[in-house]
């Protein structure tokens, strides 16, 4: 039966004697005669009053059994359906059987929190997502509980108990969210406000997922779009997985008329949230020109920008419409959407792909890696760059299937994600050139030396000859493994990165500026190379555009400012060396190695190209082999015992020999049998 309004229920209770001849209004629309109300028991009226006070909660959350039974009229005649089960789960039955069903199933299977029972619910509130296309596919219905604090749906009882404990640890109780129906948190990033649900950080339990840790990823994508917007105006860009819509809203709010933004998501809740966030930022939603204004904004000013919000499968919209810029950021791997992305992307357009399946990318789930990316990998010291090259290999294969090639503009692998940004080059010739850059990697499991195998179809008798190390000759058995196929080309475009740095300075993105500077130095494989940006000499003089280790600054003339925003293709300089070595991984036991910046200087003086890398804070990207790397490291390392100041007695030859005789290496040499 429908619920009574609170004032009507109280009036019914007080004027029970005068109820004849009156009309009771239910839910503002439905009217019932008094004769029907007269047959209602007093307990029924009390349960209705209780249900009115918690009308904002889900019907499965009750305090008493009477309240649960009050969801359906058990005193009436005929068959009735369960209020917490769909028709295909529990067919309509008579009152005595339905009462027994409610008592034995829904009332006994529950989770209790602050005198509130969260009964088991079988309604289609939650759907189990399919493993293939988990962001887009519709799944089967599962039983679940509704959290009394944040209204999240959780399938397992133990998970709900752990979820409630986290609420208690954070000081969040039922009263924290019971004030205004649905609780929203307003978050501001890059001048853009978005509404967030209380469970926005759990992607498996909410559709409007938002992660603050992905701020770096969003800013890098924004800068790459800003660079492309300078060449094409206006350009059509797509955020294929909108969620809260923050990325597309940032594009529209800061780039204005330079871009035509389309935000897509297949989930109805996400589409509703995106439209609300558009109104919150005073951005018009196309197709809804008469949308409501911001709360408290009484002026009739025109919206600052407009976006198009679409509810569609990501593969479908990318097949139907062409775009200049496409960003893919699904939950997990993006390989299911690469073919559709390259199908209609325009020539010289950009596709950016964010992969968050760290388990398969970082060599924790090798079977999933083989299934999604078709690559054989192992855990190595350069596992992050290995993940970036593996994603690029999948991107290159998807582009080649559409007769398109790629030019890698940017590849970043951090703790939470792997981001690759590529420019699309149409034509079978470009596709063939990209396909030639997919090669196998030979990796030594003893010393972790690595080298890309030479291209060619002829079988080589001894592949170990291609490795610079001599581990195969001194160690028994097989010492190396083949990894890949991987992308063997460059990972960065220096000219594009410089323009991204300009965009980061223009839009006050101070968080990613050090990262972009590191990428520029890494692309050129140098440590002491300033890269001034014409037209921004004042910022350059303040050290904005210099490397972290660079002390030199160079002024620029105003004549160069006219050429800085022109399209910059790949530099003609040498490609940066593939992979890097960790200085701590190859440190010598019992020796104090030099500081990292000093060691980079020593490698440069030895005639090698060298730079730091964003993949590893202690990593060194260089064209030196591992043997040459260790030789320089050994040369400038000092013994641990000699680092402290020595007295006159300690420097005597007799004492030095005594110290050497007690050294473990001397003991092992003199006692080979033990």
The pTM for the full model equals 0.68
How many CB atoms are closer than 10 A to CB 143?
Answer: 17
Q: Which positions ≥6 away from 461 have C-beta within 8 Å? A: none
| Number of other CB atoms surrounding residue 122 within 10 Å | 20
**pLDDT at position 655:** 36
Residue 134's pLDDT is what?
Answer: 45
Which residue in 351, 355, 278, 353 sits closest to 310, CA to CA?
A: 278
pLDDT at position 462, please?
Answer: 85
pLDDT at position 458, please?
A: 76
- Quickly tell me which residue has 């770096």 as its tokens: 216
pLDDT tens for 482-535 read: 999 999 999 999 999 999 999 999 999 999 999 999 999 999 999 865 555 544
Q: Which residues contact 95 (CB under 8 A, 6 or more apart)?
A: 74, 75, 76, 80
Strand 450-452 and strand 438-444: pairing?
Answer: antiparallel
In 208-282, where do the E strands start and end? 235-239, 259-264
Q: Give the angle 282-286-287 at the CA atoms, nearest 5°.
A: 125
- Structure confidence at residue 127 (pLDDT): 61
Q: Are 218 and 250 in contact (CB under 8 A)?
A: yes
How many CB atoms lie under 10 A from the CB of residue 623?
Answer: 15
Q: What's the full length of the chain, in residues?
A: 674
- CB 376, CB 368: distance < 8 Å: no
Buried b (16+ CB within 10 A) or exposed e, 49-79: bbbbebeebbbbbbeeeebbbbbbeeeeeee
d(CA 641, CA 653): 15
pLDDT of res. 294 = 36
pLDDT at 227: 97
Q: What is the DSSP string of 516-557?
A: HHHHHHHHHT-SS-----TT-HHHHHTTSSS-TT--------
Q: Please determine, looking at this structure, whether the domain spanning 581-639 carries the CATH number 3.30.56.70.
A: yes
> How far, in Å, CA of 629 to CA of 316, rounded?
50
Residues in the chain where the model's pLDDT stays below 50: 1-7, 9, 12-13, 15-55, 130-138, 175-182, 288-300, 534-573, 643-662, 664-669, 672-674
Q: Across all residues in the chain, what is the average pLDDT?
A: 79
Domain-wise residue ranges, the chain: 61-124+142-167, 185-287+304-455+463-487, 581-639
Residue 474: per-residue pLDDT: 87
| 54: region left, alpha or beta (phi > 0 left; psi from -120 to 50 alpha) | alpha
CB-CB contact of 191 with 377 (8 Å): no
Domain 185-287+304-455+463-487 in CATH 3.40.50.150? The answer is: yes
Residue 615: HSE in the Cβ half-sphere, 13 Å Cα cutoff? 28
Query: Up-side HSE of residue 235: CA atoms within 13 Å toward CB?
Result: 23
What are the tokens at 200?
A: 């926005």
CA dihedral 589, 595, 596, 597 (to 10 degrees): -160
For 455-484, b where at least 16 C-beta lie within 10 A, e where not — what string?
eeeeeeeebbeebebebbeeeeeebbeebb
Residues 288 and 295: their CA atoms lie apart, in Å, by 17
pLDDT in tens, 603-660: 999 999 999 999 999 999 999 999 999 999 999 999 887 544 444 334 444 434 444 4
Pinpoint the alpha helices (H) of 325-379.
338-344, 358-361, 366-373
């Amino acid at each position: 039966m429908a619920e009574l309004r609170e004032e009507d229920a109280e009036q019914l209770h007080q004027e029970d004697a005068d109820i004849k001849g009156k009309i009771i209004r239910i839910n503002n629309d439905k009217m019932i005669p008094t004769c029907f109300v007269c047959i209602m028991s007093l307990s029924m009226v009390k349960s209705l009053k209780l249900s009115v006070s918690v009308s904002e909660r889900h019907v499965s959350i009750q305090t008493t059994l009477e309240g649960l039974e009050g969801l359906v009229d058990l005193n009436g005649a005929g068959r009735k359906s369960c209020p917490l089960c769909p028709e295909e789960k529990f067919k309509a039955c008579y009152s005595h059987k339905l009462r027994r069903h409610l008592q034995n199933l829904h009332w006994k299977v529950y989770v209790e929190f602050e005198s509130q029972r969260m009964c088991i619910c079988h309604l289609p509130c939650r759907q189990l997502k399919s493993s293939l296309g988990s962001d887009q596919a519709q799944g089967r219905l599962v039983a679940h509980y509704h959290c009394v604090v944040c209204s999240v749906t959780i399938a397992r009882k133990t998970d709900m108990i752990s979820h409630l404990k986290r609420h208690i640890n954070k000081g969040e109780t039922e009263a924290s969210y019971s004030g205004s129906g649905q609780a929203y948190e307003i978050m501001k990033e890059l001048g853009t406000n978005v509404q967030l649900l209380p469970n926005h950080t759990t992607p498996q339990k909410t559709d409007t997922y938002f992660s603050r840790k992905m701020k770096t990823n969003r800013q890098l994508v924004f800068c790459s779009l800003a660079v492309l917007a300078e060449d094409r105006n206006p350009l059509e860009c797509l955020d294929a997985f909108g969620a809260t819509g923050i990325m597309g809203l940032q594009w529209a709010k800061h780039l204005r008329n330079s871009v035509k933004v389309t935000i897509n998501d297949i989930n109805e809740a996400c589409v509703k949230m995106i439209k609300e966030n558009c109104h919150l930022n005073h951005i018009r939603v196309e197709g809804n020109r008469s949308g409501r204004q911001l709360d408290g904004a009484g002026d009739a000013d025109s919206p600052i920008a407009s976006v198009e919000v679409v509810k569609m499968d990501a593969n479908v919209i990318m097949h139907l419409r062409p775009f200049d810029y496409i960003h893919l950021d699904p939950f997990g791997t993006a390989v299911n959407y690469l073919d559709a992305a390259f199908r209609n992307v325009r020539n010289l357009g950009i596709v950016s792909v964010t992969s968050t399946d760290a388990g398969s990318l970082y060599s924790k789930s090798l079977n999933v890696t083989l299934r999604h990316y078709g690559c054989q990998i192992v855990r190595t010291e350069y596992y992050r760059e290995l993940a970036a090259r593996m994603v690029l290999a999948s991107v290159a294969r998807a582009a080649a299937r559409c007769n398109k090639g790629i030019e890698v503009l940017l590849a970043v692998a951090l703790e939470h994600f792997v981001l690759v940004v590529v420019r699309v080059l149409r034509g079978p010739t470009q596709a063939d050139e990209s396909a030639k850059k997919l090669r196998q990697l030979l990796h030594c499991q003893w010393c972790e030396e690595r080298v890309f195998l030479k291209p060619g179809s002829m079988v080589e008798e001894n592949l170990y000859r291609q490795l610079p190390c001599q581990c195969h000759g001194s160690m028994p058995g097989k010492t190396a493994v083949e990894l890949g196929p991987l992308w063997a080309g460059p990972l960065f475009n220096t000219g594009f990165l410089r323009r991204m740095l300009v965009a980061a300075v223009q839009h006050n993105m101070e968080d990613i500026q050090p990262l972009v500077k590191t990428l520029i130095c890494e692309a050129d494989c140098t440590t002491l190379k300033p890269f001034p940006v014409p037209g921004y000499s004042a910022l350059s003089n303040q050290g904005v555009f210099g490397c972290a280790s660079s002390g030199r600054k160079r002024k620029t003339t105003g004549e160069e400012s006219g050429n800085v925003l022109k399209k910059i293709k790949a530099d003609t300089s040498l490609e940066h060396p593939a992979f890097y070595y960790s200085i701590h991984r190859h440190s010598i036991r019992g020796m104090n190695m030099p500081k990292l910046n000093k060691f980079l200087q020593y490698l440069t003086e030895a005639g090698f190209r060298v730079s730091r890398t964003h993949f590893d804070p202690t990593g060194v990207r260089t064209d030196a082999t591992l043997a040459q790397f260790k030789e320089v490291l050994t040369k400038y390392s000092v013994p641990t015992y000699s680092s402290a100041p020595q007295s006159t007695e300690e420097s005597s030859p007799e004492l030095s020999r005594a110290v050497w005789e007690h050294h473990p290496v001397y003991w092992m040499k003199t006692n080979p049998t033990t």
